[in-house]
């Protein structure tokens, strides 16, 4: 049988109330008594069931998700997954709030984070804008014992506790491999549509993509990146203008704004010699796969990312270890033949 708090109390010769104070690191226990309890815990091999203890105490975890406010199908889907988590809150003992900030706006994100420092939630999950001022406030909050998880786009070099998202350099490399293989011996230029180079996920995807293209597909020239701000209208205008270049044989859309991309492709009546790789499976990109406007989609599971962020923030709040294998977010590759 597993040892219980009653066994600890008997072995240490103390009351259950004293054992509870030691386990919960509360004051009011003499040093010598605390040492007896801790010795009994080690010798008995007691492992505390934190989840059961929290359930017994009726503990609720207030969590905050910070998302960019934009007309972005993937972010709409991420928001929907968080709302599903809100519906599960009674069973998971969470109290989840969503805060939206303007996309690609470091100052707005900093202001929200500084405001949360006064509210003291159990954890914060955020789609990060990679800027020095954001990194500074995140480091300050972590030093003040706030668990922080970056979601979708990381903040490398900060003290954040965990990143819930795909390996974006690998995603970019995968896109280059697919595009190069699909195009075969053809020569030409590749248009790249991004949201903003202010977010690390877009920069890393571009880095991975460009490195593979340069090393393995030198006959395909990567054009300067088009920054569509993940706005379908801006993306539409940029792609429509770019497709006036007869030398373009492929398009890589590494961010959102795919509705604008798809509209531009259809308006130009592009023939199927143009190969298109994009990110995130949405209703729009699914339809574009089916009608052959897009050739392949690289997808991250937004639901898995949200569930992972919640598990990690709760674990950090309780001082528990994170199971890395459980929290790895995989990159899915979809063509029209394997759509879920």
The pLDDT tens digits for 168-220 are 999 999 999 999 999 999 999 999 999 999 999 999 999 999 999 999 999 99
pLDDT in the model for residue 323:
81
Contact between residue 104 and residue 203 where contact means Cβ atoms under 8 Å apart: no
Tokens of 232: 């379908």
Dihedral angle computed from the Cα positions of residues 13, 19, 22 and 25, in that order, rounded to the nearest 10 degrees: -170
pLDDT in the model for residue 45:
83
All domains of the chain in start order, with CATH: 5-48 (1.10.260.40), 60-164+302-329 (3.40.50.2300), 168-300 (3.40.50.2300)
**SS3 call for 164:** strand
Q: For residue range 87-111, what is the model confidence (pLDDT) as tens digits? A: 999 888 999 999 999 999 999 999 9
Q: Of the candidates 130, 125, 156, 127, which has an alpha carbon nearest to the alpha carbon of residue 141?
A: 125
What whole-number distance in Å separates Cα of residue 31 and Cα of residue 35? 6
pLDDT at 52 exceeding the cut of 60: no
**Average pLDDT, whole number, for the chain?**
92
Residue 299 β-bridge partners: 332
pTM above 0.95, yes or no: no
Dihedral sign, Cα of residue 205, residue 206, residue 210, residue 211: negative
pLDDT, mean of residues 275-291: 96
The residues, any chain, with a CB within 8 Å of residue 107's CB and separated by 6 or more, are 133
Contact between residue 148 and residue 123 where contact means Cβ atoms under 8 Å apart: yes
């Amino acid at each position: 049988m597993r040892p219980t708090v009653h066994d600890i109390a008997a072995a240490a010769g103390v009351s259950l109330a004293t054992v509870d104070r030691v386990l919960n690191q509360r004051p009011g226990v003499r040093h010598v008594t605390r040492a007896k309890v801790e010795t009994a815990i080690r010798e008995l091999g007691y492992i505390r069931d934190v989840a059961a203890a929290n359930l017994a105490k009726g503990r609720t975890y207030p969590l905050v998700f910070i998302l960019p406010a934009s007309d972005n199908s993937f972010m709409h889907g991420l928001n929907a997954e968080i709302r599903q988590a809100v519906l599960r809150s009674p069973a998971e003992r969470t109290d989840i709030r969503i805060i939206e900030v303007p996309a690609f706006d470091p100052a707005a994100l900093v202001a929200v984070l500084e405001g949360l420092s006064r509210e003291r939630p159990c954890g914060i999950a955020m789609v990060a804008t990679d800027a020095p001022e954001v990194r500074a406030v995140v480091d300050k909050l972590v030093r003040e014992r706030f668990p922080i998880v970056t979601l979708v786009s990381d903040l490398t070099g900060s003290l954040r506790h965990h990143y819930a998202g795909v390996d974006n350099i690998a995603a970019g490399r995968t896109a280059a491999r697919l595009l190069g293989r699909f195009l075969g011996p053809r020569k030409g230029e590749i248009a790249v549509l991004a949201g903003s180079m202010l977010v690390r996920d877009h920069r890393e995807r571009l880095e991975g993509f460009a490195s593979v293209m340069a090393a393995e597909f030198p006959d395909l020239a990567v054009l300067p990146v088009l920054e569509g701000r993940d706005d379908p209208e801006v993306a539409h205008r940029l792609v429509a203008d770019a497709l006036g270049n007869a030398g373009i044989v492929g398009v890589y859309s590494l961010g959102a704004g795919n509705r604008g991309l798809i509209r531009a492709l259809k308006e130009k009546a592009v023939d199927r010699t143009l190969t298109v790789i994009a990110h995130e499976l949405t209703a729009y990109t699914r339809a574009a796969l089916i009608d052959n406007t897009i050739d392949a989609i690289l997808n991250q599971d937004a639901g898995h990312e949200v569930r992972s962020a919640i598990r990690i923030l709760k674990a950090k709040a309780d001082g528990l270890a994170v199971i890395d294998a459980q929290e790895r977010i995989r990159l899915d590759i979809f063509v029209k033949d394997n759509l879920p």
